[in-house]
Amino acid sequence: MRRTSFLLILITILLAGPASVPGTIHGQGAPAFDVAGTDVKQVSSFLKTLQSAVAIDNRLKVASLFDFPLTVRVGGEELTLKTAADFQARYGRIFDAQLKAAIAAAKVETLVANQQGVMFDNGRVWFRPIVEHKNALKIVAINDPGSK
């Protein structure tokens, strides 16, 4: 009887398939974004918008994806961006070829989420829902590649 019960349990476990990996959604390999207060649909949409806007240097659209005021770290220096106009004046300095390449290469499956938000490129870019913007995702940090 014990052997039959054990076999039934083992068969049930095997038929159920592999369990979801912690930190993923439905075992699909996409990170779980709920810890950051968002979901995969919102993150996918935000990332696509960011990538499209940066690809064509649409400074107005990119500026709309930031939460101002904000301090960014580029070239070993901190730049305080109080408004979208400040951002647009410094766009070329912030969005250099390396940052543009990192944004273009970002994939939802490789993003990392925690209670501070969602990030990619080892913490170079961070974004999260902002209550004042009706929980829209906004970029809240850009860091030098070596200074997270």
One DSSP character per residue, 96-140 reads: -HHHHHHHHH--GGG-EEETTEEEETTTTEEEEEEGGGTTEEEEE
Q: Number of structural domains, the chain? A: 1
Q: Can you give the pTM of this predicted structure?
A: 0.78
Residue 12 lies in a domain: no
Cα distances (Å, whole numbers) of residue 75 to 96, 117, 137: 10, 23, 26
Look at residue 75 in the predicted model and tell me its pLDDT.
Answer: 87
Q: At what angle do helices 40-55 and 97-105 cross, to 10 degrees?
A: 140
Domain CATH code at residue 133:
3.10.450
Residue 112 lies in a domain: yes
- Residues 6 or more apart whose Cβ sits within 8 Å of residue 91: 57, 59, 62, 63
Bridge partners, residue 79, by sequence: 72
Report which residue type is found at 16: A
Residue 36 lies in a domain: yes
Look at residue 137 in the predicted model and tell me its pLDDT.
Answer: 98
Q: Give the side-chain half-sphere CA count within 13 A for 118.
A: 31
Domain around 135: 21-142
Cα distances (Å, whole numbers) of residue 13 to 29, 109, 118: 21, 27, 34
Look at residue 2 in the predicted model and tell me its pLDDT.
Answer: 52
Mean pLDDT for each consecutive 10-residue tract of the chain (148 residues)?
A: 47 42 43 92 98 97 97 92 95 95 96 96 96 96 77
Residue 8 lies in a domain: no
Q: Is the dihedral of CA 28, 31, 36, 41 positive or negative?
A: negative
Residue 47 lies in a domain: yes
Look at residue 29 in the predicted model and tell me its pLDDT.
Answer: 52
Look at residue 1 in the predicted model and tell me its pLDDT.
Answer: 53
